[in-house]
């Protein structure tokens, strides 16, 4: 080997090894010695497979031969990760370029070896960071092909990663958006700035079985080897957040309605009280003490109504608080209690209060809440009885099947006007002139029934009203299943 | 029509008051008795929109009230429903050729109700029922002049 050639070889900042057709090391530069941890004497004349991990050692001379059959410059390994073996037994990732060199002494191959340890670990770190991210993360290439997915993506979209790698990203996009999606990928690639996807729009992901779920997506361009661009997308399932937002919105609407209604319904009686007191004042001035007295009585009555309204509102606002334990509901007791509570009204209206309990198994529920529901419905049935009917009757009936417990409250009272029936469960709705009420009762009843996982409906005409309640018998279901 | 005159010789106007609160009707009666609404003549009370509408339709051949004061929150037929229905009736019957001025009197001061009231073109005034009844009496009286 010429001295010039040797010097060029030696001074190269890349590890270089010259090997002959028999796989023997004919020359090795200092950089390569350092990389593999050997002295010159230890390697010169040795088989090159000494620097190859043991998994490949046996096959290596064959590979060298293959190269000499078609001696063209090329990269070794074709896309596989190659490893070199150091003197101390440790292997490390490398890239190897092969160049045939024709000399007077025959054909040699010069391998240039680049240590990829740093890149390799950087990539490993990147992969494990992506893998362990709490969000779904995936990487696509500039053409939208999925290059990398993490565990969370598998969980979110219910795919195995094998089913996703190499696929177009559109596999995860809802059908009606699929067509346009490649355009969006292109646009992003041409101006790759980190950003959120679809600002102002609602984004959805598509699971393997086709169901859609709301997502939030962050996009991050990755530039590799200067010319290739990849996109790293971070995907968060926002189903829970969306549901919570909807719930908050619903609650806030309800609260607004509540504030609006209560402010009106609390203010109106105050205005009346003040007006009547003004009248009473004038009565006193005029010496009409009887009239003044009657006005003061009125004020007391209005105040007491107002107090009961406040009480009801307070009760209503507590509807969302605390849960009592489920116990067996005592239907006999509630019948006795309500008969006693409404004794005077029942007698005054000559109203019969009947129970018709046909259920076979008891109902386990949050008892005080159900009591409130029944109290409200019974008191309505009594309040809206038909005074022209001498056979006024309020009936509570129960029955059950395997899944449900049914309760009916039926009356033959004046009924709910047909044009108002759609508003029955709204807050502060009153439909009858001359009958006291705050218009909160049925709103509260429905709220409580829903809390008890039950359902409520009614039928009403001028011959009376019947409310139907049903509650799931969860325990029985469980028993049946087991 | 000369109309009925008050003590000062001014013409008094009849008015219909629509409100579900009986105490309110009592207060109006008292205010009139005590001459706090000097231009108020005959008073026609109605407890809700339907009662008022029925009265107006029944009496459209005869003498109709010179003004209508209506509340919003009422059972059976509320103020808004009344305004809607009354407008339709007015278009149907030539008897309603003299347009009766309508004022809404409500204790509600919410924007929502305000906007809804403004939506009804047949409403001429919007009065807030407040704790000072003398002030309300003055406002009603002004509208009757």
DSSP readout, A16-82? EEEEETTSBEEEE-HHHHHHHT--HHHHTTSBGGGGS-HHHHTTHHHHHHHHHHS---EESSTTSPE
Nearest Cα of chain B lies from the Cα of A411 at a distance, in angstroms, of 21
Model confidence band, residue B52 (pLDDT cutoffs 50, 70, 90): very high
Q: How far apart are CA A392 and CA A11, in angstroms?
A: 113
Per DSSP, the three-state class of A327 is strand
A261, A272, A430, A440: best mutation site toward chain B, by most B Cβ within 10 Å?
A272
Closest-CA residue to A237 (of A123, A305, A158, A128): A158
Lowest-pLDDT range of A31-35, A127-131, A199-203, A353-357: A199-203
pLDDT tens per residue across span B35-49: 999 999 999 999 999
Model confidence band, residue A478 (pLDDT cutoffs 50, 70, 90): very low
pLDDT tens per residue across span A257-297: 778 777 777 888 888 899 999 999 999 999 999 999 999 99
Model confidence band, residue A436 (pLDDT cutoffs 50, 70, 90): low
Question: Can you list the alpha helix ranges (DSSP code H) found in A89-159?
Answer: 117-132, 151-157
B19, B24, B131, B140: best mutation site toward chain A, by most A Cβ within 10 Å?
B131
- Give B105's contacts in chain A (Cβ within 8 Å): none
- Give A302's contacts in chain B (Cβ within 8 Å): 23
Tokens representing residue A37 in the block:
């941890």
Report whether pLDDT(A482) > 60: no
Beta-bridge partner residues of A460: A465
Report whether pLDDT(A432) > 80: no
Report whether pLDDT(A481) > 80: no
Percent of chain A with pLDDT over 70: 93
Report whether pLDDT(A152) > 90: yes
B107, B114, B116: best mutation site toward chain A, by most A Cβ within 10 Å?
B107
Report whether pLDDT(A434) > 70: no
Over residues A435-445, mean pLDDT: 71
**Beta carbons of A331 and A355 less than 8 angstroms apart:** yes
- Give B133's contacts in chain A (Cβ within 8 Å): 274-275, 278
**Beta carbons of A204 and A214 less than 8 angstroms apart:** yes
Report whether pLDDT(A480) > 50: no
pLDDT of residue A405: 94
pLDDT tens per residue across span A24-59: 999 999 999 999 999 999 999 999 999 999 888 888
Q: Which DSSP string corresponds to A237-264?
A: E-HHHHHHHHHHHHHHHHHHHHHHHHHH
pLDDT of residue B69: 94
Report whether pLDDT(A322) > 60: no
Report whether pLDDT(A231) > 90: yes
Over residues A81-88, mean pLDDT: 91
Closest chain A CA to residue B129:
A271
- Give A278's contacts in chain B (Cβ within 8 Å): 27, 133-134
Report whether pLDDT(A79) > 90: no
CB nearest A271 (choices: B48, B76, B107): B107
Lowest-pLDDT range of A144-158, A254-268, A374-388: A254-268
Report whether pLDDT(A389) > 50: yes
Q: How far apart are CA A391 and CA A407, in angstroms?
A: 22
Model confidence band, residue A477 (pLDDT cutoffs 50, 70, 90): very low
């Amino acid at each position: 080997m010429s001295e010039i050639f040797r010097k060029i070889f030696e001074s190269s900042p890349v590890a270089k090894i010259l090997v002959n057709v028999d796989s023997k090391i004919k020359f090795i530069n200092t950089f390569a010695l350092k990389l593999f941890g050997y002295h010159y004497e230890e390697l010169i004349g040795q088989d090159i497979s000494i620097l190859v991990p043991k998994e490949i050692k046996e096959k290596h001379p064959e590979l060298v031969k293959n190269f000499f059959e078609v001696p063209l410059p090329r990269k070794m390994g074709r896309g596989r990760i190659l490893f070199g073996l150091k003197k101390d037994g440790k292997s490390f990732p490398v890239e190897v370029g092969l160049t045939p060199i024709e000399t007077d002494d025959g054909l040699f191959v010069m391998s240039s070896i680049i240590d990829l340890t740093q890149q390799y670990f950087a990539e490993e770190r990147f992969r494990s960071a992506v893998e362990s991210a709490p969000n779904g993360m995936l990487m696509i290439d500039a053409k939208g092909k999925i290059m990398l997915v993490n565990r969370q993506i598998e969980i979110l979209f219910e795919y195995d990663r094998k089913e996703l790698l190499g696929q177009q990203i559109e596999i995860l996009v809802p059908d009606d958006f699929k067509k346009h999606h490649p355009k969006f990928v292109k646009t992003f690639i041409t101006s790759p700035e980190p950003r959120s996807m679809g600002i102002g729009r609602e984004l959805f992901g598509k699971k393997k079985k086709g169901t859609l779920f709301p997502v939030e997506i962050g996009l991050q361009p990755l530039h590799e080897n200067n010319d290739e661009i990849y996109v790293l997308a971070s995907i968060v399932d926002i189903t829970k957040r969306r549901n919570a937002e909807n719930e908050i919105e619903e609650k806030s609407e309800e609260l607004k309605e509540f504030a609006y209604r209560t402010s009106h319904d609390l203010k109106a009686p105050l205005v009346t009280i003040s007006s009547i007191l003004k009248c009473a004042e004038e009565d006193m001035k005029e010496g009409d003490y009887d009239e003044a007295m009657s006005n003061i009585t009125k004020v007391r009555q209005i105040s007491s109504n107002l107090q009961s309204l406040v009480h009801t509102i307070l009760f209503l606002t507590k509807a969302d608080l605390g849960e009592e334990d489920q116990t067996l509901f005592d239907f006999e007791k509630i019948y006795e209690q309500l008969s006693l509570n409404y004794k005077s009204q029942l007698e005054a209206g000559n109203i019969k209060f009947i129970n018709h309990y046909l259920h076979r198994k008891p109902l386990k529920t949050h008892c005080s809440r159900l009591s409130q529901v029944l109290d409200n419905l019974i008191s309505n049935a009594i309040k809206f009885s038909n005074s022209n009917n001498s056979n006024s009757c309020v009936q509570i009936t129960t029955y059950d099947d395997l899944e449900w417990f049914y309760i009916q409250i039926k009356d033959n009272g004046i009924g709910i006007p047909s044009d108002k029936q759609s508003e029955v469960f709204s807050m502060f709705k009153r439909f009858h002139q001359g009958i006291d009420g705050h218009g909160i009762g049925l709103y509260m009843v429905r709220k409580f029934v829903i809390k008890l996982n039950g359902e409520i409906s009614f039928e009403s005409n001028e011959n009376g009203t019947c409310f139907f309640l049903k509650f799931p018998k969860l325990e029985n279901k469980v028993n049946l299943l087991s | 029509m000369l109309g009925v005159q008050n003590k000062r010789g001014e013409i008094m106007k009849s008015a219909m008051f629509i409100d579900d609160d009986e105490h309110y009707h009592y207060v109006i009666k008292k205010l009139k008795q005590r001459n706090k609404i000097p231009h108020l003549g005959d008073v026609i009370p109605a407890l809700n929109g339907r009662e008022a509408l029925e009265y107006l339709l029944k009496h459209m051949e005869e003498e109709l009230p010179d003004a209508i004061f209506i509340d919003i929150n009422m059972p059976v037929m509320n103020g808004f429903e009344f305004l809607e229905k009354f407008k339709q009736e007015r278009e149907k019957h030539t008897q309603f050729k003299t347009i009766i001025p309508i004022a809404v009197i409500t204790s509600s001061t919410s924007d929502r109700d305000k906007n809804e009231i403004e939506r009804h073109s047949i409403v001429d005034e919007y009065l807030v029922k407040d704790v000072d009844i003398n002030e309300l009496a003055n406002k009603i009286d002004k509208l009757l002049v």
